[in-house]
Amino acid sequence: MDLRSARRLLPADAAARAALVCLALMWLAQVVTPLFERGQRQLPTTVVVVLLAAAALCATAAAVGWRRALLAVGAATAVGVAVEAVGTRTGLPFGEYRYTGALQPQVLGVPVVVALAWAGMGLPAWAVANRLVRPVAARIAVGAVALTGWDLFLDPQMVAEGYWVWPGGGAYRGIPLSNFAGWLLVSAALMAVFAVTAPRAGSALAAATYLLMAVMEVLGFLLFFGDAVVALAGGLVCVPLGVAALAFRPPTGRLEAGGGWRRPLAAGR
């Protein structure tokens, strides 16, 4: 089946419904994850990430079509593998860290779910940026902040689960601040990739995916992991961005690849 046939079989409304199903299943997987003993959460963690990536793919497809959505997810996953492979070997740009082997399978020493996570949360962060600002440079900057804000949740949780380690420790829950500087850099590069592959991906559904993840992380750290510091740090960045993106209604018209909005011509012109 070619992409044209797939587009006919899965129109925008079907893609949106598929995204909602993935989000519902992801929410259920997040709820049951704390019921597993620490050290035994690899399966639910993997399921959450896969469903997140699937939801992001479908939400993006509903906005820009399957070809661009698949291209964006594929490019983001490739970027994820590349930066993580370089990072674990050189310490750049995040700092010195390594994977423990708990998450499988791996490519070039990088867990596949980690690479998928760059796409799964990267596209919702890009949607948030697209809904809040217009110039492409501003969208790249806002998207990079939105995605890095998510790592304020992600890294402490994954380190506590034993999925990767920071041998030198750090100021934020044993994580060095260089990690977040590296995240900003890589996230900006990823947003630039999305500006080419999916420039108009700013749907409310994708932005809602971002907000749902943020709220679930806040609740998880408060109620299950008992870490109000991480809940507050990540929540203060991610929740306002998600709420603002959903509250803000982008101008009527078409978002151009270069960053401007093309308004429809008035009738008779």
Q: What is the pLDDT of residues 90-123, one digit of tens each?
A: 999 999 999 999 999 999 999 999 999 999 999 9
- Is omega for the bond preceding 105 within 30 degrees of 0, making it cis? yes
Token look-up 């991906």 returns 201
Q: What is the pLDDT of residues 243-252, one digit of tens each?
A: 999 998 665 4
Q: What is the pLDDT of residues 76-93, one digit of tens each?
A: 999 999 999 999 999 999
Token pair recorded at residue 20: 């909602």
Helix (H, G, I), strand (E, B) or coil at 100: coil
H helix runs in the chain, sequence order: 3-9, 12-32, 42-64, 66-90, 112-132, 136-161, 177-197, 204-219, 228-247
Buried b (16+ CB within 10 A) or exposed e, 206-243: bbbbbbbbbebbbebbeeebebeebbebbbebbbebbe
CB within 8 Å of 82: residues ≥ 6 apart: none
What is the pLDDT, as a whole number, of residue 250? 64
Answer for the pair 99, 109: CB distance below 8 angstroms, yes or no: yes
